[in-house]
Amino acid sequence: MVSIITDLKEKYRRGNICLQLIYINVAVFVLVWLAEVLLMLFNQSMGGWLSWLELPASFTRFFVQPWSIVTYMFLHAGFFHILFNMLWLYWFGMLFLQFFSAKHLRGLYIVGGICGGLLYMVAYNVFPYFRGMVDHSFLLSASASTLAIVAATAYREPNYRVGIFLIGTVRLKYLAWVVIGLDLLFITSDNGGGHIAHLGGALAGLWFAASLSKGTDITKLINRLCDALASLFSPRPRKPKMKVHYNAERKKDYDYNARKKSQSDEIDRILDKLKKSGYESLSSDEKKTLFDASKR
């Protein structure tokens, strides 16, 4: 089990941002599923707990849980829900990376999710059709984020051809228009909130690509916040302890110079004694030292 987790961590570290986002979504889905199973064993429901991570339609509830504007975009309602969202994220995320940077993808995923969530809340509180549903409606999905990536890619390369199963090759701009058109048609369906969020994400993608073509990156602030958060949780490198290593040659030179100075001082002392008191006043050791010095 430990080796599996280590292997997954290594694959996550080496993967590009598109794969990392997929890993995060799948990890959250698995953790929520395991929590639901555990709570079920105690006859408890995950619904009450999960609602604190889902995005509420009610602004009053949102002010109590503002973090849900981000957490909701990593949650999914079931296996097929996450499967299709992750397939779309993979296909168009990898295509997106051919024209934009990894940081753009990360930033747009979050910006698209935020814009989709905000449009969902505004629509539910503005249009009378949704007012009776506001207090008990919650949003969860990566769809708005994924649609932002699709729309941005379609804006950047509208004539890029993609292969669709059972349909054939379609230009990216037509695929984007069909998806957006379907979301518009199904606003009043049972999943109306989800389709509204899709439209918000698509608008964010168009906004991003149009702004970037004019030199403005709307994901810059989000990416700075992400980098700042990442730096808080990343381990800081330890400063190496200072160690002083004496060079052997330098030590030899120091010892040699010290000996030379000592000998020189001794010779000077003996010469002063000789000058003052004569040769006979010198000891045998002093005479020998003077004699040895004269031979150098």
Asked if 12 contacts 23 with a C-beta cutoff of 8 angstroms, the reply is yes
β partners of residue 139? 55
The mean pLDDT of 118-125, rounded to a whole number, is 96
pLDDT band at 101 (very low <50, low <70, confident <90, very high): very high
- Counts for the chain of helices (H) and strands (E), in that order: 13, 4
Residue 252 confidence (pLDDT) above 90: no
H or E element in which residue 129 lies: none
174-194 pLDDT, tens digit per residue, is: 999 999 999 999 999 989 999
Q: What is the pTM of this model?
A: 0.77
Asked if 289 contacts 266 with a C-beta cutoff of 8 angstroms, the reply is yes
Pairwise CA distance, residues 80 & 23, whole Å:
16
The mean pLDDT of 17-30, rounded to a whole number, is 95
* Sequence spans of domains, the chain: 2-232, 248-294
Local structure of 161: helix, strand or coil: strand
CA-wise closest residue to 19 among 125, 91, 78, 115: 91
pLDDT band at 139 (very low <50, low <70, confident <90, very high): very high
Pairwise CA distance, residues 236 & 242, whole Å:
18
Query: Options 3.40.50.20, 1.25.40.10, 1.20.1540.10, 1.10.10.10; which CATH number does 2-232 get?
Result: 1.20.1540.10
203-246 pLDDT, tens digit per residue, is: 999 999 999 999 999 999 999 999 998 888 776 666 656 555 55
DSSP assignment of 75-121: --SSHHHHHHHHHHHHHHHHHHTTTS-HHHHHHHHHHHHHHHHHHHH
